[in-house]
Every structure is written in C-alpha cells, then in structure tokens.
C-alpha cells in the first residue's frame, strides 16, 4: 500500500522586543540565573501583568505578513498547570480569541499552507538539574519573554514542504524585524503533528506530536522516522496511539512522553487581569502601511529594475541582512550588477569561511562600495581588490588606507607601462617572434611578464593596448 | 480628650495645629492595640514606626495612624493573607495603595487579620485565629476584612485599608458599626493586593465616617500603569465635593432586597435610614430588581474559578511555607497545599477547579459570565432612573462565633446584598444605621452607578450629618 504523510506544525517564535511581554525586564538571551527578573515576571503575590504594546504590534505585523485575518477583538486566557518553571502556575496565552487567524503561506511549487491561528503568549523559565547535588534549580530569566505561536492546518505532505514553510516563515519574520528566529537559542521552536493514511484517503489517521526539534535537520529526520514508525505499526495491524513524543537527536528516534489519556486539563479561562484588546481599523491600517518589503517583492524588484539573474536575486534576498547590505551598497552609487557579483562571490565566500551570518558581519556597505569604486575607476586591479577585500572583511578596515599602506594602487600611467613593455619585448625576442608567427598564446605570456614587472598593479586594459600597439609596429 | 474617638480628619487637624503630636497619636494607638488585641485579635502583625515623622502637609490625613489588611503587600513587613501557606512571606515591594498612602503621610501600624485569602464572611477562617466583634466578643466581626473593621471600631487605628470581593469591606463594617466603602472597580489599583478573584477584588477604606473614606479615596484612587484594569478616570476631589445635600436625588429601594430572609430589625433600621435620606431632600421609591435571585450562585462560580487559578502559585516552591517531608515534585505540591491551606480555601479551590474543568466550563463558568453581564445590565437600567440604591448590607447582624463555620451554605447566602455590587463593578458603601435588640450594629448600603463614588459618599455624608450612629463606640477593648 502507498501511504501519505499528513503534517501540521505549531511554531513558537520569540519576539525581538527589548522588554518582556508583561513587565519591563530585558528579554536578552542568557545572563546569570534570575538576573533578568522582577516581582511581575516571577509571579510574586499581588503583582499584575500589563501588556507590552510592542508585542501586540509585532504579532499583528506577523499576522498581516502571513495573510491572516486580524481579530478586532481579542483576549488573553490563562492556561493552568503546575510546574516549577512556571511561577504563577498558569501561562498567559490566547485560546478563545487569538489575535490572528485564517492565514495562508505560499511555499512555492504551487503549494499553499493554511494558517489556523497566530496567538501571543509568555515563555516559561528554565529548570537546570544538578546531578551532582541532585538538585533542580529554577532560572526565571526567560519567564515572560514574548512568544507568538503559529498553528498551521494539517496541510504538509512531506518534510521538504515543512522545511520550505519554515524557511519562508523565518525569512518573513526576520524581514519584519519581529524575531531573529535562532533555532540554537530557542527563539524558533517547532512541534510537529504527524499522521499517516492510505494514499487517496480523505480521513486523517491518529496523530502524534513531536517535541524537542532543534534544527531543520532534526525536523526532517524526525518526520522520516515517525512516518516510518507509524506505517510499520499500521502494516503490522497495530494501532497508532495519540501521544506526545520526544525526538532524541543522539538516538535518531522518537520516544513516547505522555499519552492523551494522561493529558492535562488546562482549565483555560479568560485572563481577568488584562482587559480584552479592541483593535481599531486605523491601528491595523497603520501597521499594514508600515509593513516592510518582504523577500518575494524584493526578488522581483531586483530582477525587473536591476536586471539581476533570478538565482542572484534569490540568494541576495535569502537573508534580510544580506539584502539590506546589498541595497545600501547600491544606494551608495554602486552598479547593482557589480554589487551583486561582489556579494555573491566575495561576501558570501568570506561569511562561509568565517562561519558567520550576514547580520553578524563587521563589514559595512561603504567599505564594499569604495572597493568597487576603486576597481571601476581603474585605480585597483580586480585581483588585488579581492585581496584587499579579504584583508578588510573581518574588521571593516579602511580600504584606502590599506591600499596606500601596501602600495597597491594600480598603474594606469601609459608612459610607465610603455617603458616596461619595451623592456619586456627586448628581453623576450623569441616570444615576439612566436607572436608574429601567429601564436596568440605568446601574447598572454608577454602580458604576464609586464604584469610581473609591475607587481600586478597595472590596469590590464592599458597593458593590452600598449603591448598590441608595440607589437604591431 | 479621648483621641481614639476622633475621626481621622479630626485627628489630622489636631496634628496640623500641633494640639496633638504624631508621637502621641501613635502611642495612643499602640496602647489601644495592646489592650484590645488579646480580646478581638484584629491584628496579625503590629509594626509601627518608633518615631513617626510624616510630612503633615502631604494630605488631609497626614500623620494619622492606620493599618492594612494582611493581603496587601507591604515591603519588608510580613504579608500572610492569614494563611499558613504564606507563613514567613515578606514582600519585596509595596502595593500601589501603600506607596500612595505613604507618600500622603499615612503612618502604618501593621497588618490586620482577615479570613484566609479573604475567603469567608466572619474572619474565622484565619490561620491566626478568629477576629472577635468589639461590640460583643462572642460574636464574629464579619469578613473578610474583619480585623480592619474591628480595629477601627475598637479605636486601635483611625482608618484601615481592606479589600472587597463580595462584601468583604462593607459587611464587617456593618457588623462592627463603622463606615466602609468599596469603590468602583478599576478606580483603585490592585497592584500589590494578593488576588482572590481578580475581576471582583477592589481595595477601599474602613473608617469612622464617610468623610474619612472620601479623604482616603482621594489618595488611593487613580490610574496606575502597573494595573491593566485600572481606569483612566478622574480621581481626587471627593472630600471637597461632599455637600450633604440630596435635593433632587432619587433613591431606589430594590424590593428584592427587603423580602424573605431579612431580619425584621435590620429591615426596620434600613427603612428608617430611607426616611432620613428623604429628610435630606431625596425622593425614595421602591422598584423590582429580580436579578438578585442569581447573584449568589453567579458570584461563587466566578470567584471560585478565579481563586483556583490565582492561588495555584502557592505551591511551596518559591516562598512561604513548604511541607516538611515529600518525595516527589507531585508530593511537594500536594503536601504543601493540603497542609498549608485551610478548609474554606480548599473548598473554594476545588469548586473553582471543577467549574473550569473541560466539559463543565460552558455549563458553569461561561454561563456565570453571561449572567454577570445580565446583572450588570439590570443595575445599569436601575441607574437610568435612580441616583443611588439603598439596601441592607447583610440579612442579620453579627452571628455568634462558630455558627457560620458549621453551615457554609448559609454563610454564602448571607452575601446576597453585597456580591451583586462586585459583579456589576459598582461603588457601594456601608454605614451604621442603628442597633438590634442585642445591641449589635446594623448597616445600610448605598450603591451608586459606575464612577458614582462621589454620589455614594455624599449620600452617606448627608445621612451622617443627620444621625450619630457612626459616632457610637463599643465598650469592649476600651482602655478607659
């Protein structure tokens, strides 16, 4: 029998607000335990949550970018459960009236993933177990960091579709500036709901939910494992149990955490400490008007306005920081194609060499723009320029100072070139004879000799021209 | 001169003129507390300043000794909600009302006894032992702000800050013969009030006159950015607006609050109060308010539901009391909460957990929210016709100690006249209006429209200009 895999995703994204969702503590990652805390985010008796308006704004922006309906009336709800990382013993979330619902994401290849809802909630703290002392310690720094949870419909049929969606989601949220979406730091976390069914069937099979997926690679592998596990069970005539399973990266397998029978009753009810949110049309229209250009639109514009190849446009827009960098270089007067070539070649090359992401590099647009300008003006030979680039990349060094200090300025003085050409011709009579006998290869050799004499700093066009003139005499 | 029989405003005046020093006022209060505490158990913690030095120009009440109910967070002073589970808990911050009153020159002498987590109507569920009524030490002081009402009645402090979720300021004020006001929901910041039922809780004053209450509210009302439910309404100026004139005002008497279950002596005293209000220029008219039938069940579902969530954080992990022996995390929770909470608190947590459970939510909690909206609408309609409503505060005067604990349902039903006000978010005040045959005080309740706090206070002020019920003091605990 052929089986079809059916997948839905719940993605938690940490919002990049400076302060927490209900108090003014910093959201900065890390820090000594319990140093990013106050009476509010540690749930001290008597404290009250007050919504950070930036969180609302970011959630609506994300919803708009994911083509969601924005709820004109929304509310927070309490999700009640006991756990030491949750100091109030309830999480403030949204169940009954989420801020955004019914969206859609085009993941390419004619496939659209429907968004069921997007809601706001607070993150919990962290428990650190000390096996030596057999003690568990609570760190509440992460308590109250704002999250949005984006829930899709069960529209995925493969791991590839899931990854395309997550890449699109990450790019979109980064473009919006609402999250940095770093999986390693947990600012993008994903739970995968998966079931299988005979191909062509309309009914859904029993699903499991997988947690602890910390990378795209883990997601792909967990999906492959879990689909296979479920298919094998069904083919053996067994049943899939509805349960939560944990992905174990080291063992490359999923393990049952808890079954539905043990599922908690969260006793959701409207949060009485936060009044319902009423959003005006003006508020939503204002945010819609202020939405930045997203990757797709940029891609189209780069191709249409600047004639970049589709591949280049896609690469440049794959990371917002890269696209921003590119546009700033162009804005400094650089030819877009030149800028694109340099970024596609040298910048991406250096990022890869240094293991950096575009948003973390020191290099600034004026540095690259200046370098390209020197080449364009004939003051720097392209090969030399690449060397200069490599030298200044890591700490955004001063291009002009570096060129001057290392005496790299290109020789475009035809008089000086002529002198050298004459010396070279005199010293290489055989090659001159070869050339005149029709061996074009000899020309290249002579150019090389001239360049060597000039330490590679001559403008190739000038060398070619002078050499041809002399040889034709 | 008997300083302890003055109103807060009168004492403040004498402090300003220098007739009385701050030290004398504090010493008087501490000596009264010393005498009365063994009898009435009004305080949980006594913690006064050794050398009071308030800025007497800070407010009309500056320099006057007062105290807070023990569910209001006071930085550095134990705050237990009269519960074992918060034994040893010392807040690291001050509630907004505490900050505001401190800035206004209030001199706090400590924390007042109450029903555990404000759950109860007699202040007998306290882990610190029951509060006794200064008028008759065999009777309850009412609850849950029983310590606040008893302390003011016994002349231990000139005013106190209580909290009112379903009548917890007004009912003990009535039982103890003092004046207590629950302001409009959202006008006093709840930041720092350890929550019982968040959508109903509101802090307010208990004092010896409506004018004193107005002076306290002038300090504590007003928008607080730390409370999302606090209203951006004009605050202050209540004391200055008291005219005592009710000319042209219409007062409604909901007949549903004067029927079955109401003690005839209470009924007579409240109706007599209506006559006094008429004499002040108001017209009084009976009208039907049939929603009264639903207020008690609606209140107990909503309050218990919110309480079950609000009290979940008391789990022995972070602060307060923790069970001595436990094996697993589950054990730690179960043992701590089983041993740390009293019977009434556990009853309400269980009730609230039940009504929020999957499968019951729609039938109970959601339905209760719908009924709450209907109740609010009924009051809104009443206030299109009337400026104020007059009702009893409680069906009877203070019961004997122990009576209510044995019959919780009866205790719940006795909240009928007060809980509707919290469900509708309205301002209401309890004022002394007479005594029953046993010599126990009777209270009358004035209810106003949303933000009609000034109207309510003015109604009571007019009444207190014409009567002296509020000036009566009990003999119990009297130092003389």
In chain A, residues with a C-beta closer than 8 Å to the C-beta of B81 are 45
- pLDDT digits 0-9 by tens, A173-211: 999 999 999 888 889 999 999 999 999 999 999 999 998
Distance of CA B128 to the CA centre of its chain: 19
β-partners of residue A101 are A69, A117
Sign of CA dihedral A161, A103, A19, B220: negative
d(CA A422, CA A416): 10
Reported as type and span, the H/E element at residue A104 is strand A100-106
Mutate to test the interface with A, among B161, B228, B301, B360 (most CBs of A within 10 A): B228
Chain B closest-CA separation from residue A88 CA (Å): 5
Active-site option among B144, B145, B189, B430: B144
Residue ranges in B414-468 assigned as alpha helix (H): 416-423, 453-466
* CATH architecture, domain B3-293+369-471: Alpha-Beta Complex (3.90)
CB-based contact A46 B357, cutoff 8 Å: no
The CA angle B330-B334-B337, to the nearest 5 degrees, is: 140
CB of A427 less than 8 A from some CB of B: no
3-state secondary structure of B433: strand
Average pLDDT over residues B422-434: 98
0.80 exceeded by the pTM? yes
CB-based contact B318 A51, cutoff 8 Å: no
Backbone angles phi, psi at B108, to 5 degrees: -85, 135
Are B451 and B203 contacting, i.e. CB atoms less than 8 angstroms apart? no
β-partners of residue A245 are A210, A256
CB of A277 less than 8 A from some CB of B: no
CB-based contact B315 A47, cutoff 8 Å: no
d(CA B109, CA B36): 14
pLDDT at A429: 86
CB-based contact A47 B306, cutoff 8 Å: no
- Those residues whose C-beta lies under 8 Å from the C-beta of residue B75, and which sit 6 or more positions away, are B91, B92, B93, B94, B98
Are A273 and B228 contacting, i.e. CB atoms less than 8 angstroms apart? yes
Nearest CB to A265; choose among B313, B333, B357:
B357
CB of B35 less than 8 A from some CB of A: no
Mutate to test the interface with A, among B94, B312, B340 (most CBs of A within 10 A): B312
pLDDT at B480: 33
CB of A53 less than 8 A from some CB of B: no
Burial A274-287 (b: 16+ CB within 10 A, else e): beebebeeeebeeb
- pLDDT digits 0-9 by tens, B69-108: 999 999 999 999 999 999 999 999 999 999 999 999 999 9
Q: Which residue of B has its CA nearest to A277?
A: B228
Interface of A with B in 337-396 (CB under 8 A): none
pLDDT at A384: 85
Backbone angles phi, psi at B64, to 5 degrees: -85, 125
As a whole number, the mean pLDDT across chain B is 96
pLDDT at B477: 45
Mutate to test the interface with B, among A45, A47, A81, A265 (most CBs of B within 10 A): A45
Nearest-10 Cα torsion for A433, A434, A437, A443: -110
CB-based contact A265 B358, cutoff 8 Å: yes
CB-based contact A78 B194, cutoff 8 Å: no
Question: Percent helix, strand and coil across chain B, each rounded to 5?
Answer: 40, 15, 45
Are A162 and A156 contacting, i.e. CB atoms less than 8 angstroms apart? yes
d(CA B69, CA B86): 14
β-partners of residue A117 are A101, A151
Q: What is the end-to-end Cα distance of chain A in Å, rounded?
A: 81
Nearest CB to B199; choose among A50, A82, A272:
A272
Mutate to test the interface with A, among B111, B302, B309 (most CBs of A within 10 A): B309
Chain B closest-CA separation from residue A30 CA (Å): 21
CB-based contact A89 B191, cutoff 8 Å: no
Are B338 and B321 contacting, i.e. CB atoms less than 8 angstroms apart? no
CB of A45 less than 8 A from some CB of B: yes
CB of A272 less than 8 A from some CB of B: yes
CB of B158 less than 8 A from some CB of A: no
Are A376 and A342 contacting, i.e. CB atoms less than 8 angstroms apart? no
Q: Which residue of A has its CA nearest to B71?
A: A46
Residue ranges in A177-319 assigned as alpha helix (H): 216-235, 281-289, 295-306, 310-317
Nearest residue to B307 via CA among B370, B340, B351, B339: B351
CB-based contact B329 A269, cutoff 8 Å: no
CB of A78 less than 8 A from some CB of B: yes
CB-based contact A47 B361, cutoff 8 Å: no
Interface of B with A in 351-390 (CB under 8 A): 353, 356-358, 361, 365, 369
β-partners of residue B432 are B443
CB-based contact A272 B308, cutoff 8 Å: no
Nearest CB to A275; choose among B91, B225, B229:
B229
Backbone angles phi, psi at B411, to 5 degrees: -65, -45
The CA angle A270-A275-A280, to the nearest 5 degrees, is: 115
> Computed over its alpha carbons, how large is the radius of gyration of chain B?
21
- pLDDT digits 0-9 by tens, A280-323: 999 999 999 999 999 989 999 999 999 999 999 999 998 889 99
CB-based contact A267 B353, cutoff 8 Å: yes
Check if B144 is active-site: yes
pLDDT at B479: 37
β-partners of residue B252 are B285, B389
d(CA A105, CA A72): 22
In chain A, residues with a C-beta closer than 8 Å to the C-beta of B231 are none
Nearest CB to A269; choose among B194, B315, B356:
B356
In chain B, residues with a C-beta closer than 8 Å to the C-beta of A49 are 228
pLDDT at A260: 66
CB of A80 less than 8 A from some CB of B: yes
In chain A, residues with a C-beta closer than 8 Å to the C-beta of B365 are 269
Mutate to test the interface with B, among A272, A275, A277 (most CBs of B within 10 A): A272
Nearest CB to B228; choose among A88, A268, A273:
A273
Reported as type and span, the H/E element at residue B67 is strand B65-69
CB of B34 less than 8 A from some CB of A: no
- pLDDT digits 0-9 by tens, B257-299: 999 899 999 999 999 999 999 999 999 999 999 999 999 999 9
Sign of CA dihedral B345, B227, A142, A55: positive
- Which domains occur in chain A, in start order? 3-283 (no CATH), 293-405 (no CATH), 414-471 (1.10.10.410)
Would you list the DSSP string of B147-180?
HHHHHHHTTSSSEEEEEESSSTTHHHHHHHT-EE
CB of A49 less than 8 A from some CB of B: yes
pLDDT at A261: 62
| Count of alpha carbons within 13 angstroms of residue B27, beta-carbon side | 6
Would you list the DSSP string of A3-60?
EEEEEEEEEEEE---SB-SSSS-B--S--STTSS--TTTTT-TT------HHHHHHHH
d(CA A247, CA A332): 48
Check if B385 is active-site: no
Nearest CB to B309; choose among A42, A49, A80:
A80
CB-based contact A43 B229, cutoff 8 Å: no
Pair type for strands B132-133 and B107-112: unpaired
Reported as type and span, the H/E element at residue A330 is helix A320-331
pLDDT at A262: 66
Q: Which residue of A has its CA nearest to B196?
A: A46
Domains of chain B, residue spans: 3-293+369-471
| pLDDT < 50 positions in chain A | none
Distance of CA B58 to the CA centre of its chain: 25
Are B84 and B127 contacting, i.e. CB atoms less than 8 angstroms apart? yes
Check if B69 is active-site: yes
pLDDT at B231 over 90: yes
Task: Classify residue B319 by burial, with Cβ atoms within 10 Å: 0-12, 13-18, 19+.
Answer: buried
Nearest residue to A59 via CA among A89, A51, A216: A51
In chain A, residues with a C-beta closer than 8 Å to the C-beta of B91 are 44-46
CB of A108 less than 8 A from some CB of B: no
With bands split at pLDDT 50, 70 and 90, how would you rate the model's confidence at B30?
A: very high
Nearest CB to A80; choose among B190, B227, B312:
B312
Active-site option among B123, B168, B404, B420: B168
pLDDT at A467: 86
Q: Which residue of A has its CA nearest to B192?
A: A46
Would you list the DSSP string of A154-188?
S-B-SHHHHHHHHHHHHHHHHHHTS----TTTTSE
Task: Please give the DSSP secondary-structure letter assigned to residue A276.
Answer: P
Nearest-10 Cα torsion for B364, B367, B371, B372: 70
d(CA A386, CA A214): 37
d(CA B86, CA A46): 13
CB of A269 less than 8 A from some CB of B: yes
3-state secondary structure of A79: strand
With bands split at pLDDT 50, 70 and 90, how would you rate the model's confidence at B478?
A: very low
Nearest residue to B278 via CA among B421, B459, B107: B459
Would you list the DSSP string of A337-390?
HHHHHHIIIIIHHHHHHHT--GGG----HHHHHHHHHHHHTTSS-HHHHHHHHH
- Those residues whose C-beta lies under 8 Å from the C-beta of residue A300, and which sit 6 or more positions away, are A313
Would you list the DSSP string of B178-245?
-EEEEPPTTSB--TTBPPSSTTT-EEEEEESSHHHHHHHHHHHBS--TT-TT--------TGGG----
């Amino acid at each position: 029998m052929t089986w079809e895999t059916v997948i839905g995703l719940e993605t938690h994204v940490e919002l990049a607000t400076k302060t927490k969702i209900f108090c003014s503590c910093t959201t900065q990652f890390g820090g000594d335990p319990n140093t990013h805390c106050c009476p509010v985010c540690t749930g001290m008796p008597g404290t009250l949550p007050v919504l950070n308006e930036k969180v609302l704004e970011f959630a609506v922006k994300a919803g708009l970018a994911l083509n969601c309906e924005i709820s004109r009336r929304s509310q927070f709800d309490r999700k009640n459960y006991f756990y030491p990382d949750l100091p109030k013993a309830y999480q403030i979330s949204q169940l009954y009236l989420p801020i955004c619902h019914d969206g859609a994401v085009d993941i390419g290849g004619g496939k659209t993933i429907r968004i069921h809802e997007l809601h706001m909630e607070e993150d919990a703290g962290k428990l650190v177990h000390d096996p030596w002392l057999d003690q568990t310690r609570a760190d509440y720094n992460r308590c109250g960091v704002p999250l949005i949870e984006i829930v899709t419909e069960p529209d995925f049929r493969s791991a590839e579709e899931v990854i395309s969606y997550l890449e699109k989601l990450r790019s979109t949220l980064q473009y919006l500036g609402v999250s940095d979406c770093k999986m390693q730091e947990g600012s993008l976390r994903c739970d995968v709901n998966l079931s299988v069914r005979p191909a062509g069937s309309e009914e859904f099979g029993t699903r499991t939910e997988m947690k602890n997926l910390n990378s795209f690679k883990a997601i792909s592998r967990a999906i492959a494992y879990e689909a296979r596990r479920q298919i094998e069970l069904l083919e053996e005539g067994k049943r899939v149990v509805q349960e939560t399973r944990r992905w174990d990266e080291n063992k490359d397998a999923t393990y049952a955490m808890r079954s539905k029978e043990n599922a908690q009753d969260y006793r959701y009810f409207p949060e009485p400490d936060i009044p319902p949110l009423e959003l005006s049309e003006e508020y939503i229209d204002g945010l819609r008007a202020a939405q930045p250009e997203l990757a797709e639109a940029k891609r189209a514009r780069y191709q249409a306005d600047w004639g970049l190849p589709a591949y280049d446009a896609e690469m440049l827009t794959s990371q917002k920081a890269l696209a921003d960098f590119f546009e700033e270089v162009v804005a400094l007067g650089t030819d877009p194609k030149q800028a694109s070539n340099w970024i596609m070649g040298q910048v991406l090359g250096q990022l890869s060499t240094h293991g950096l992401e575009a948003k973390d590099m020191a290099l600034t647009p004026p540095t690259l723009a200046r370098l390209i300008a020197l080449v364009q003006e004939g003051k720097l030979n392209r090969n030399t320029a690449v060397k200069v680039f490599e030298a200044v990349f890591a700490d955004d060094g001063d291009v002009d100072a570096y060129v001057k200090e290392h005496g790299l300025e290109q020789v475009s003085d035809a008089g000086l070139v002529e002198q050298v050409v004459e010396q070279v011709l005199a010293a290489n009579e055989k090659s001159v004879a070869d050339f005149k006998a029709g061996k074009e290869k000899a020309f290249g050799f002579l150019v090389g000799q001239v360049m060597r004499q000039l330490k590679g700093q001559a403008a190739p066009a000038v060398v070619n021209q002078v050499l041809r003139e002399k040889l034709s005499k | 001169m008997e300083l302890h029989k003055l109103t807060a405003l009168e004492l403040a005046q004498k402090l300003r003129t220098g007739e009385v020093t701050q030290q004398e006022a504090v010493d008087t209060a501490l000596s009264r507390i010393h005498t009365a505490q063994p009898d009435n158990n009004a305080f949980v913690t006594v913690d006064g300043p050794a050398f009071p030095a308030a800025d007497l120009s800070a407010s009309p009440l500056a320099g006057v000794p007062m105290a807070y109910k023990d569910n209001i967070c006071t930085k550095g002073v134990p705050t237990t909600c009269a519960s074992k589970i918060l034994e040893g808990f010392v807040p690291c911050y001050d509630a907004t009302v505490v900050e505001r009153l401190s800035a206004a020159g209030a001199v706090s002498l400590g924390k007042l006894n109450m029903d555990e987590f404000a759950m109860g109507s007699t202040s007998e569920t306290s882990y610190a032992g029951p509060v006794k009524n200064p008028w008759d030490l065999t009777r309850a002081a009412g609850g849950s702000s029983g310590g606040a009402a008893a302390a003011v009645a016994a002349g231990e402090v000139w005013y106190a800050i209580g909290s009112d979720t379903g009548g917890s300021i007004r009912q003990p004020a009535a039982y103890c013969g003092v004046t207590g006001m629950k302001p409009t929901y959202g006008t006093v910041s709840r930041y720092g009030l350890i929550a019982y039922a968040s959508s109903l809780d509101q802090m307010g004053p208990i004092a010896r006159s409506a004018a004193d209450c107005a002076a306290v509210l002038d300090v504590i009302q007003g928008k607080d950015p730390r409370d999302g439910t606090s209203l951006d309404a004009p605050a202050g100026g209540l004391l200055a607006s008291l005219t005592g004139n009710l000319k042209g005002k219409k007062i409604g008497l909901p007949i549903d609050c004067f029927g079955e279950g109401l003690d005839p002596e209470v009924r007579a005293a409240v109706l007599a109060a209506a006559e006094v209000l008429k004499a002040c220029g108001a017209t009084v008219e009976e009208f039907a308010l049939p929603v009264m039938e639903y207020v008690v069940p609606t209140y107990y579902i909503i309050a218990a539901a919110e309480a079950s969530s609000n009290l979940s954080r008391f789990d022995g992990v972070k602060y307060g009391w923790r069970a001595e022996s436990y094996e697993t995390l589950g054990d730690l929770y179960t043992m701590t909460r089983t041993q740390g909470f009293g019977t009434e608190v556990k009853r309400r947590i269980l009730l609230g957990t039940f009504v929020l459970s999957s499968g019951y939510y729609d039938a109970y909690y959601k339905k209760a929210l719908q009924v709450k909206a209907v109740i609010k609408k009924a009051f809104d309609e009443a206030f299109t016709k009337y400026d104020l409503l007059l009702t009893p505060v409680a069906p009877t005067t203070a019961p004997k100690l122990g009576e209510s604990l044995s019959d919780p349902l009866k205790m719940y039903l006795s909240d009928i006249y007060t809980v509707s006000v919290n469900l509708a978010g309205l301002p209401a005040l309890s004022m002394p209006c007479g005594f029953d045959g046993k010599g126990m005080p009777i209270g009358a309740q004035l209810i106003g429209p949303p933000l009609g706090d000034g109207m309510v206070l003015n109604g009571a002020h007019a009444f207190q200009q014409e009567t002296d019920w509020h000036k009566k003091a009990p003999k119990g605990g009297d130092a003389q």
